[in-house]
Amino acid sequence: MGVKKLMKQVFTKPKSLTDVPFTYCPGCHHGIIHRLVAEAMDDLNIAEDTIGIAPVGCAVFAYLFFECDMIVAAHGRAPAIATGIKRVKPDNIVFTYQGDGDLASIGTAEIVHAANRGEKITVIFVNNAIYGMTGGQMAPTTLEGQITQTSPYGRDSKTMGMPIRICELLSTLNSPAYIARVALTKPAYIVKAKKAIKKAFQYQLDGKGFALVEVLSTCPTSWGLSPKEANEWLNEKMIPYYPLGEFKNVEEVS
């Protein structure tokens, strides 16, 4: 077909991803987030110099998927390991990839202090409002009233507190250079998410300081929803509580 020959490839798998198929459930946003991180590495041509820290959680196998050096951290400790690596090898690009159980529960101390010290690392924070890997227990980010294995009657804020908004919390610190929250349920959101993730790597390249992007993500399996219903639930329930946007940006004088 002559016309076919004239066509140009406008979308393909980024080079910074390996050929290994993802181990995530159908419709899980972890895969989209991996792709966006890999596209950012492609665009900035940094895969060769990048060291990623995988979490404990469903993304524990992230080292199989990224074409860069990877380490797996003990649960929640990725920011501590990233700190050590970045300080010893300041010319490398160092990122952590962490779920909300990992970052906002067992690893709360590590993330708060890494941010407060202004470590020049990039953090990709995947907020799916639940512990995915272990079968759907309540996370600090679980919404009020949300039913999980460990909140069978719904999260009750009287005894369990309100869901933690990590971006807002970390934005109260002086040191972070960039903090943003994004989602992936619409094409326009995906474009914005890509920009934010790229910026979070660019800021590290420029030595600006700590950068974190929170990605609102689905867990169709532990939410007990189809991928379509999970996207709708994210739009209807999560975005109103977790507003999208940039919370901190050293580039912009406010």
Ligand X SMILES: Cc1ncc(C[n+]2csc(CCOP(=O)(O)OP(=O)(O)O)c2C)c(N)n1
Q: Give the pairing type, strands 178-182 and 69-72.
A: unpaired
Q: Which residues contact 187 (CB under 8 A, 6 or more apart)?
A: none
- Residue among 11 and 153 whose Cβ is closer to ligand SF4: 11
Beta sheet of 93-99, edge-to-edge order: 69-72, 50-54, 93-99, 122-127, 211-216, 178-182, 245-249
The three-point CA angle 122-108-168 to 5° equals 70
Considering only 28, 124, 216, 234, the residue that binds another protein (CB under 8 A) is 28
Q: Which spans in 176-219 are helix H? A: 187-205
Cα–Cα nearest to 215, from 126, 93, 136, 137? 126
Q: Is 140 a residue that touches ligand X (CB under 6 A)?
A: no
Per CB under 6 A, the segment of 97-105, 113-121, 165-173, 246-254 that binds ligand X is 97-105
Q: Is 58 a residue that touches ligand SF4 (CB under 6 A)?
A: yes
Rounded distance between C-alpha atoms, residue 189 and residue 55, angstroms: 25
Q: What are phi and psi of 182, to 5 degrees?
A: -135, 170
Q: What is the DSSP letter of 17?
A: B
Per CB under 6 A, the segment of 33-41, 51-59, 156-164, 168-176 that binds ligand X is 51-59
The DSSP H or E segment spanning 249 is strand 245-249
| Site pattern 190..219 for ligand SF4 (x: CB under 6 A) | -----------------------------x
Query: From the CB of 107, what's the least distance to another protein, in Å?
Result: 25
Binding residues for ligand X, total number by CB under 6 A? 19
Per CB under 8 A, the segment of 12-20, 99-107, 117-125, 149-157 that binds another protein is 12-20
Rounded distance between C-alpha atoms, residue 41 and residue 247, angstroms: 23
Considering only 17, 38, 40, 56, the residue that binds ligand X (CB under 6 A) is 56
Q: Is 58 a residue that touches ligand X (CB under 6 A)?
A: yes
- Residue among 41 and 80 whose Cβ is closer to another protein: 41
Query: From the CB of 175, what's the least distance to ligand X, in Å?
Result: 24
Can you give the binding site for ligand X, defined by CB under 6 A? 55-59, 75, 99-102, 106, 126, 128, 131-134, 139, 219
Can you give the binding site for another protein, defined by CB under 8 A? 3-4, 6-13, 17, 21-22, 24-32, 35, 184, 187, 190-191, 226-228, 231
